[in-house]
Structure formats: structure tokens, C-alpha cells
A and B are shown apart, each in its own frame.
Chain A
Amino acid sequence: MPDSDYSPYVIAVYAIALVAYGGLAFLWQLALRRAKKRLDEAETL
């Protein structure tokens, strides 16, 4: 069994994945909500 603990590397990778995928999902959902709102406003005009 290796003695080294690579936890900082592991945490960094999971953090990057969370930021990349979670961030993309969050930003696109936000943009989707804004686009829907703009479309609703444009249709009522």
C-alpha cells in the first residue's frame, strides 16, 4: 500500500469538475430563464 496521500490532487479534480459542469448547467439555466422572459415580454407587446 503506498504511503503517499494524494487527497489535494483528488479534491482539485472534483472541484474542477463541479465548477465546469455545475457552472455550465447553472449559467445556461439562467440564460434560458432570461430568454424565456424576454420572449414572453416580446409576445405581449
Chain B
Amino acid sequence: MRFLKKIQKSLGGVALILLVVAFWLVMRAPVDFQQGNAVWILYVHVPSAKMSLLFYLILVASGIVYLWKNNEVANIITEAAAPVGAAFAVVTLLSGAIWGKPMWGAWWTWDARLTSMLILLILYVGLMALRGAIDNPQKAGRATAVLAIIGAVDLPVIHFSVTWWRTLHQPASFAGAAKPAIATPMLTPLLMMSIAFLVMGLYLLTVKTHLLSLQKQLDAMEEEQFSHA
């Protein structure tokens, strides 16, 4: 627990510094020749989208570990990752809609990328609802882990939707080892913001994990007191 506390504090501090640096870089980034200053929205939208996918992967990985090893820490991480990923998914969809209105002339369209992203948010909400609906923590953990694994089919659909189907959404600006499709003055703040969001997401994950483990301790104590009474 002390180790978790230390990591949590360090991640919080580093995230704050990185966010300030990333924001400063965004302010200095050039405006796009077609989008104007609306391009600055993408410095929030793209990192949020990447993190919403990454946190779902974390959720699935911890779910697998829980099903395989029956590890309680993995169960708590699965529970903690859902609201963090959901927050990233909400910001992705809202920022996309706000960018879409001036650029596409519509807040929303049933495009493959947008729809699969909405499904991811519904999955996150569904996982939280399912866990909340089952009283037994072990059963809830197993059920959410299974649903998370089944839902993982949405991840490649989101990632490849822009290449598999003819979509309004543009292809990835940067992905893996491929050469980035955007200029360096725009790529630098985007990468910095992505790193800042990653550290911030990990910070949120550790805070929520810590909170859930304390709540479980409190529940156990209350149960013990109740059984003695």
C-alpha cells in the first residue's frame, strides 16, 4: 500500500508537469491551413481516443489475470480501469462532436469509427453496471472479466474502421512504426499530450485502485463487526 501511495504521488506530479508542457506546446503549434485553430481540438481528441483503447486493453488483461489466477488485485484493477476508460471515451466523443460541427457540418454521423467508439463507451458503462448489479464480488469480477473479453472484439474494429470501410473520419495521424501523416510542429505537441494523458490515466487508475482497496477493507471490517454483534 505504501508503494502504491508513492507511485500515485509521483504519477500525479509528473502528469501535472507533462500536461503544462504539452499545453504550452499546443499554444505554440501552428494552425492548420484548412481547419484553422480547430486543429487544437485534436490535441485533446486523439490522445483521449488512444487512452480509451489502452485502458480497455488494461481492463481485459487484468480480467484475464483474474479469471486465470483468481488474483484479487487484478479484480480491483479491472474495476478501477472501467471509469477511467469511460472518462476518456466520453471526452473523445464530445471533443469529436465539437470538432465535427464546424468541420463536417454535423455533431454526429453514424460513421464506422464514431459508432464503434460509441459501442466502446456503452461497453464501459455496461461493465460498471454489471459489476454494480451483482452482490457477490467474486461472481461480479468473473462476469465483468468475461464481458470485457467478449467486448475486446470492438478494439480492432475501432482501430481498422477507417481502412476497412469508407468513412468520413480521417485515417490515423500516427500509429505504431508507420511514418506519421502530420508535420513535426504538430506531431510534437500531439505526442507530448499523448504521453501526458497516459501518465494522467495511470495516476487516475492508481487513485481509483487505492480507493477501491480501502473500501473493500472497510467493508470487511464492517462485516466482521456485524458478525460479532
Which residues of A are in contact with B by a Cβ distance under 8 Å? 1-2, 4-7, 9-10, 12-14, 16-17, 20-21, 24-25, 28-29, 31-32, 35-36, 38-39, 42
Complex contact B48–A10 (CB within 8 A): no
Which residues of B are in contact with A by a Cβ distance under 8 Å? 12, 31, 33-38, 40-41, 44-45, 48, 83-84, 87, 90-91, 94-95, 98-99, 101-102, 200, 203-204, 207-208, 210-211, 214-215, 217-218, 221-222
Between-chain CB contacts (< 8 Å), 17 pairs: A1-B36, A2-B34, A4-B36, A9-B38, A9-B99, A10-B37, A13-B41, A16-B95, A17-B44, A21-B91, A24-B83, A25-B204, A28-B204, A31-B211, A32-B207, A36-B214, A39-B214
Which residue in A13, A21, A31 is a CB contact (below 8 Å) of B87?
A21
Complex contact B211–A28 (CB within 8 A): yes
A residues less than 8 Å from B91 (CB atoms): 16-17, 20-21
Dominant secondary structure of chain B at its interface with chain A: helix
B35 to chain A, nearest CB (A): 7
Complex contact A35–B214 (CB within 8 A): yes
CA distance A45 to B90 in the complex (A): 42
**Seed contacts A6-B102, A25-B200, A35-B214; 5 additional CB < 8 Å A-B pairs:** A1-B36, A10-B38, A14-B44, A17-B44, A28-B204
CA distance A25 to B211 in the complex (A): 12
Complex contact B203–A25 (CB within 8 A): yes
